[in-house]
Structure 1
Amino acid sequence: MKISLSALLGLAISAHASTIEYTTVTGYFLQDETVTDPSTFDYTAVNFGLINRTYPADKELKHHQSTTQWERFYNQVQKFNEDSPKNIEYKVLFLGRHGNGWHNSAETYYGTPAWNCYWAELNGNSTVTWFDAALTPAGEAQALVAHDFWQKLIEEQKMHTPDNYFVSPLTRTLQTANLTFNGLDLPHGSAAFAPVIKELFREGISIHTCDHRHNKSYIHSIFPHWAIESGFSEEDNLWNGVTAETSAAQDVRSTQALGEVFFGESSKKKSYVSVTSHSGEISSILRVLGHRTFSLSTGAVIPVLVKAEKKEGKATTTSVSWTASAHCTVAPITSVTACVCPSSAAPVTTPLVATGY
């Protein structure tokens, strides 16, 4: 199946438009280095991965010897933006994965093959619900670790906090962002924690019900003071329980989402951006940014310094592939290394649950 991105997301694509080229600026964070192992990386133990080094802009600070690493890094980013032309800007994206959700626990319990081919297509079992999964107590604790770490850096390193906050519309990311940033004692003059809920920063869209978001009214009811972006549909029009995004399709979506973050009003002065999202979506964002593959554990956060260059040119309508996903209609009989449906329940591509929420 192929579908035009503009038709899928209701996006207007003009015949002549600017495009944005993204580059990861390396040399500032450990997560950019090939020697850093993502499986053992602990952002709280290594200062978000910020490398202890000097910067060219240090010489412009009167007392740079007494400033912290994060103060000097922020000064360097601001200097990059001051010295760059209008079509280039730099931002530090703080990419945070949600804490452990009930769907994560269910996948561990059932095993990945059985989860993918049957259980993930249900709304839950007799014990828990994983449709648009909420955080487990362990996931809540992971988000509070991030909260405490942000507060520690604010107090000890006078760290500049995000100028903008963006959040995926799925429940687990909303809860994670709230636990992470709500109630922080922010530095004087900092931007308030006023997140914008963005559809395009959601997890990769599969037939799993954990990727199916609640409707807009429900989201507003649990976080009534948060902004929901313009054009956000009442129902989830992207999930249908039959087809799934390919990686290429998700990268097109991530590119569109990033394009709505860069080059806004006073954008160069808002160089720190928080994006609370998901493992698959963060992987997609990193691909778009040209960053090395770097998997995040639940609740983890990594910053990435990004250079964005706006280029004028002729834009073309992009077609992206989605695929139908077969699954069992009853629990598989074996799923240690692969899913095997009972012979009386051949794989189908029809949803196991109703799509309206």
Structure 2
Amino acid sequence: MKLTSVPGYFSNYEELAQIPGQTNYAYTKIVSPGDDGVKRKNWQELLDSLPAGHKVFLVARHGQGYHNLIVDTYGEPEWDRYWSKLNGDGELEWFDAHLTELGIKQVERTGSLIFNGQLDGVVPDVFYCSPLRRCIETFHNSWNQVANLQERGITDHDYDTIELNILEGLRETIGEHTCDKRQPISKTFKEYNLINFDQKNNAKKNSDLRLKLNYLPVYTEEDLLWKADQRETNDEIDKRLSKCLQHIWEREKASGSNNKLISITCHEGVIQSILRVLNHESIPRFETSGVVALVVKEDEEK
């Protein structure tokens, strides 16, 4: 099985780069009409018009984490040479990094402008996420407005609890950098499962939304994949993401549901790999809290 992206549904990097003042963090604007001549005014019409066997991956990068802040502070060369190998600098810690205050504001913006604005009440059918803390915090702070959709009369569904499927395959590039080492599952589960977030967990308690963490196999309590002296190559992460996306695809097919909109919360390295694996046009720099929408289909391998 080979998955590939289908162009012509959403604005691309080159188009957005021509718009003065465009931040280029959101690649989710619907192109109307598409290459197939079908006019789509909104997300619901787009989903309704998808050919059979096509789905939309709504892929979000986490907001600024403390490791990103240190990269900005010392520069990328010094980060790669020295700081990335440490857990912190004596003041800040970035092992399995939390979001910064700016990171929280960034993903709240994404939630307001994209998930609660542009999607206009359309909610993904299923949610997948990296196991690293910055992604779990990103998901909560960007999707917390979903909990208010019922009050606004947009949906009859009660979204006070969302099941978040945690996939090890969605982790950032593995190895060397301590920010990308996963803390034990039991600790993350205790911090986030069915808990209303608060400042203790570096996230705001601004809704009643709770996350039910569903760790999909295969997991180990401790992180056995991360190595201090070896980091994944692009080829290695592409093989990992190809298997991960196929796992998501097969899981959705096996569920018997007609899920068309799939949410994925992850990392820049993962998103760049997804774009390569799906043969999608490149996005040279994917900003923290950025979002890209991809129409995906299954091709038979020859």
Amino acid at match of 1:273: I
Q: Distance in 1 between matches of 2:79 and 2:157?
A: 43
Deviation of 1:200 after TM superposition, in Å, equals 0.3
**Cα shift at 1:189:** 6.1
Question: What is the match of residue 207 of structure 2?
Answer: none
Are 1:167 and 2:129 matched, yes or no?
A: yes
Which whole-Å deviations, capped at 9, do the CAs of 1:275-315 have from their partners, x for residues lacking one? Answer: 1000011000110000011131000111011111355x8xx
Q: Distance in 2 between matches of 1:138 and 1:289?
A: 31
Q: Take 2:256 and 2:30, find their aligned partners in 1: how far apart are those partners? A: 23
The 2-side partners of 1:136 and 1:21 are apart by 37
Unpaired runs of 5+ in structure 2? 194-211
Mapped pair 1:195 → 2:195: no
Counterpart selection for 2:117 from 135, 152, 158: 152
Q: 1:71 deviation in Å?
A: 2.2
When structure 1 is superposed on structure 2, of 163-172 and 35-44 the one drifting more is: 35-44
Q: Compared with structure 1, are the counterparts of its residues 284 and 267 closer, same or farther at alpha carbon in structure 2 (3 Å cutoff)?
A: farther
Matches within 5 A, 1:210-289: 210-224=179-193, 225-263=212-250, 264-266=253-255, 269-289=258-278
Read off the aligned partner of 1:76 and give its amino acid letter. S
Counterpart amino acid of residue 73 in structure 1: L
- Equivalence for 2:296: 306
Residue 60 of structure 2 aligns with an amino acid whose one-letter code is G
2:42 is the counterpart of 1:69: yes
- Paired residue secondary structure (1:92): strand
Give the conservation status (yes or no) of the 8 Å contact 1:164–1:274.
yes
Tell me the equivalent position of 2:8: 27
The answer to whether the 8 A contact 1:57-1:75 is kept is no
TM-score using structure 2 length: 0.82
Paired AA for residue 94 in structure 1: L
RMSD: 2.5
1:164–1:191 contact (8 Å) kept in structure 2: no
Q: Distance in 2 between matches of 1:114 and 1:201?
A: 26
Structure-2 residue corresponding to 1:119: 83
1:52 to partner: Cα distance: 2.7
Amino acid at match of 1:207: E
The Cα shift of 1:114 comes to: 1.1
Q: Which residue in 1 is equivalent to 2:74?
A: 110
Counterpart in the other structure of 2:206: none
1:238 match: secondary structure:
coil
TM-score normalized by the length of structure 1: 0.70
The one-letter code of the counterpart of 2:178 is: T
1:296 aligns with 2:295: no
Q: Distance in 2 between matches of 1:138 and 1:255?
A: 32
Once the two structures are superposed, what CA deviation does each residue of 1:89-113 show, in whole Å capped at 9, x if it has no partner?
Answer: 2111111000000000101111111
Q: 1: distance between equivalents of 2:266 and 2:157?
A: 22
Q: d(CA) in 1 for partners of 2:247 and 2:16?
A: 30
Aligned residue for 1:276, secondary structure, equals strand
Distance apart, 1:199 and its partner CA: 0.3
SS in 2 for 1:261: helix
Contact 2:184 2:223 in 1 (8 A): yes
The 8 Å contact of residues 55 and 73 in structure 1, kept in 2 or not, is answered as no
Q: Verify the 8 A CA contact 1:94 1:301 in the aligned structure 2.
A: yes
Alpha carbons of structure 1 residues 191 and 161: separation in structure 2 relative to 1, 3 Å: farther
1:165, 1:284 → 2: CA distance?
A: 19
Distance, in Å, in 2 between the alignment partners of 1:97 and 1:181 is 13
SS at match of 1:210: helix
Contact 2:5/2:294 (8 A) holds in 1: yes
Provide the identity percentage.
29
CA distance in 1, matches of 2:261, 2:271: 17
Look up the match of 1:100: 64
Q: Which residue identity is paired with 1:252?
A: K
The AA in structure 1 aligned to 2:276 is R
TM-superposition CA deviations, 1:242-298 (whole Å, max 9, x none):
111000000000001001111333466101011100001100011000001113100
Q: Partners in 1 of 2:36 and 2:182 — Cα distance? A: 45
Partner SS for 1:226 = strand
